[in-house]
Amino acid sequence: MSEWDRDWPAPAKINLFLHVVGRRADGYHLLQTVFRFLDFSDTIRCEPRGDGRILLATPLPGVAPESDLTVRAATALRAATGATAGVALHVDKRLPMGGGLGGGSSDAATTLMALNRLWRTGLDSSRLQRIGLGLGADVPIFIHGRTAFAEGIGEHFTDLSLPAAWYLLLVPAVAVPTLEIFRSAQLRRDTPAIAAAEWRPGFGRNDLEAVACALYPEVARHLDWLRGYGDARMSGSGACCFVEFDRESAARQALAALPADMRGIVAAGLDRHPIVVI
């Protein structure tokens, strides 16, 4: 089977903790976090075009195709490499928008990695990460492709080895705009920084959680329910929330008890992104 015929996974990420430790002069927030991928993903299929156009075959409601991160990623890769080929991008969208799972960033990263291979542009991971950073602060971690402690605006990584885990992930029926959370006057921006070597599982909190819960009570309600099973946390800027289990059966037992008006899934943690770029 040709690689043009395959589906390319774009996995979710969760933030095991997320602290805002400062702010740069340009307004970007300085963060410390641990990213972990999940075996829950969008998928992208790339269809070659002979007319040189980059098209999104599956546009999202309310998002102009030229603004979609997959189209922007393909355009950026062509600009960086001088490639001239065209492509139609088919995105099977499972990750919720405004869910804090990095869906748009993951789609952009997968587009870069897939087209780098399909167009034979030959860029290494570091170069792809630099292109990705121009698209969004979360794009580089998906190209880096390993569980990592991240710093800066989220682009400096220290790799971590974590035990196997399963997560019950709840998906509130709200979309939380990232900019709204980061612009809030109530957001704490002075959490003391730590060294990567000091981090341990269970450490810290999500500094964005209090703001998101105040603005979106459904996030708070889902977190309250999850806390009956452990140290529940919100991922990213929300709205999705998770709690960790060391056995899949325990996670599925909790899922079976989920109230009828809540949506959840069980996903395993991944040590590596399914696509590897050296």
255 three-class SS: helix
Q: Of the residues 5, 13, 190, 261, which is catalytic?
A: 13
Alpha helices in the chain (DSSP H): 69-81, 103-118, 125-133, 139-144, 178-182, 209-215, 217-226, 248-256
Burial 86-99 (b: 16+ CB within 10 A, else e): bbbbbbeeebbbbb
Q: What are phi and psi of 175, to 5 degrees?
A: -110, 125
| DSSP assigned state of 155 | T
| DSSP assigned state of 228 | G
Active site residue 138: yes
Q: Of the residues 42, 68, 107, 138, which is catalytic?
A: 138
Within a 13 Å sphere around the CA of 215, how many CA atoms are in the beta-carbon half?
Answer: 22
- If one counts every other C-beta atom within 10 angstroms of the C-beta of residue 151, the result is 19
Active site residue 93: no
Q: Are 29 and 20 in contact (CB under 8 A)?
A: yes
- Please give the positions annotated as active site: 13, 138
